[in-house]
Amino acid sequence: MAEHIFNNRYRVLAQVAGGGMAVVYKAHDTILNRVIAVKVLRDTFAQDVDFRTRFQHEAQAAANLGHPNIVTVYDYGQDGAQSYIVMEYVEGRDLKTVIRSEAPLLLDRALDLMIQTCAALGAAHRAGLVHCDVKPQNILVTNDGRVKVTDFGIARALSASVPQNVETVWGTPHYFSPEQATGEPPTPASDVYSLGVVLYEMLASRVPFDADNHTDLALQHLRDEPPPLTALNPAVPIQIEQIIGKAMSKDRTNRYRTADLFGRALLDYRRMTNQATGYQRPIAVPASTGSTTVSATTVRPQTPVAKAQGGTDWLGWILGTLAFVAVVGLLPLFVLVWRAYSQPASPATIPSSPNSIATPVSGTTITPAFGNEVLVPNLIGRTQADAEKLAAANGLQVFLGAGHFDPKAPKGNVVAQNPTVGKKVAKGATIEINLSEGPKVSPVINLLNVIYEDAAEGLQTYGWDVRLVEQYSQDTYHKILAQEPAPGVQLAAGEPLTLTMSGGTTVTLEVNLADLISLDAANLPLDQVRSGEALEATLVWHAQRRVGAPYTVFLHFVDPNGNIMTQIDQEPALPTTSWPISVTIDDPYVLVIPGGAVPGIYQLMVGMYPTGDPFNRLPVVDAGRTSADNNDRILIREIIVRP
Cis geometry, peptide bond prior to residue 173 (ω within 30 degrees of 0): no
404 alpha-carbon distance from chain centroid:
28
Query: Residue 185's domain is classified under what CATH number?
Result: 1.10.510.10
Query: Residue 44's domain is classified under what CATH number?
Result: 3.30.200.20
Same domain, 36 and 106: no
d(CA 26, CA 602): 19
Total structural domains in the chain? 5
Q: Name the residue among 467, 499, 465 with its Cα closest to residue 480.
A: 499
Residue 253, CA atoms < 13 Å, CB-side half-sphere: 0
> What pLDDT does residue 335 have?
54
Range of weakest confidence among 85-99, 140-154, 385-399, 614-628 = 140-154
Residue 83, CA atoms < 13 Å, CB-side half-sphere: 19
Cis geometry, peptide bond prior to residue 410 (ω within 30 degrees of 0): no
Question: For residues 6 and 27, is the Cβ–Cβ distance under 8 A?
Answer: yes
Q: Name the residue among 395, 304, 398 with its Cα closest to residue 350.
A: 395
Same domain, 396 and 457: no
Burial class (CB in 10 A: 0-12, 13-18, 19+), 554: middle
Same domain, 99 and 141: yes
CA distance to 377, 417, 426, 427, per residue, from 399 (Å): 14, 10, 16, 15
Residue 185 — very low, low, confident or very high, per pLDDT cuts 50/70/90? confident
Q: Where is the domain boundary, 435, 460, 492?
A: 435
Of 1-15, 432-446, 584-598, give the range with the top mean pLDDT: 584-598
Same domain, 547 and 457: no
d(CA 455, CA 464): 13
Give the mean pLDDT of 617-625: 92
Q: Residue 84 sits in which domain range? A: 5-88
Q: Which of 43, 133, 191, 260 is catalytic?
A: 133
Beta strands in 30-152 (DSSP E): 34-41, 73-79, 82-88, 92-94, 139-142, 147-149
> What pLDDT does residue 124 have?
87
In a domain, 261, yes or no: yes
Same domain, 627 and 557: yes
Question: For residues 360 and 393, is the Cβ–Cβ distance under 8 A?
Answer: yes
Same domain, 35 and 151: no
Cα angle at 132 between 130 and 138, to 5 degrees? 105
Residue 15 — very low, low, confident or very high, per pLDDT cuts 50/70/90? confident
Cis geometry, peptide bond prior to residue 104 (ω within 30 degrees of 0): yes
> What pLDDT does residue 444 have?
93
Same domain, 132 and 242: yes
Residue 344 — very low, low, confident or very high, per pLDDT cuts 50/70/90? very low
Same domain, 530 and 598: yes
Judge whether residue 547 has pLDDT over 60. yes
In a domain, 306, yes or no: no
> What pLDDT does residue 333 have?
56
d(CA 134, CA 111): 17
d(CA 44, CA 67): 31
Query: Residue 488's domain is classified under what CATH number?
Result: 3.30.10.20
β-pairing, 496-502 vs 465-471, is parallel
Of 9-23, 25-39, 331-345, 351-365, give the range with the top mean pLDDT: 25-39
Query: Residue 565's domain is classified under what CATH number?
Result: 2.60.40.1930
> What pLDDT does residue 600 have?
94
Residue 318 — very low, low, confident or very high, per pLDDT cuts 50/70/90? low
Beta strands in 559-599 (DSSP E): 564-570, 585-592
Same domain, 634 and 547: yes
Helices (H) and strands (E) in the chain, counts: 14, 32
Same domain, 137 and 271: yes
d(CA 194, CA 249): 11
Q: Name the residue among 419, 433, 415 with its Cα closest to residue 374.
A: 419
In a domain, 413, yes or no: yes
Q: Which amino acid is at 566?
A: T
> What pLDDT does residue 298 have?
38
Same domain, 248 and 200: yes
Contacts of 635 (CB under 8 A, 6+ apart): 20, 603, 604, 605, 626, 627, 628, 629
> What pLDDT does residue 98 have?
93
Judge whether residue 625 has pLDDT over 80. yes
Cα angle at 632 between 626 and 633, to 5 degrees? 60
β-pairing, 369-370 vs 373-375, is antiparallel
Beta strands in 241-305 (DSSP E): 287-289, 292-294
Mean pLDDT of the chain: 81
Q: Which amino acid is at 234?
A: P
In a domain, 158, yes or no: yes
d(CA 25, CA 37): 6
Helix (H/G/I), strand (E/B), else coil: 553:
strand
Percentage of residues of the chain with pLDDT beyond 70 = 78
Burial class (CB in 10 A: 0-12, 13-18, 19+), 407: middle
251 is catalytic: no
Same domain, 29 and 68: yes
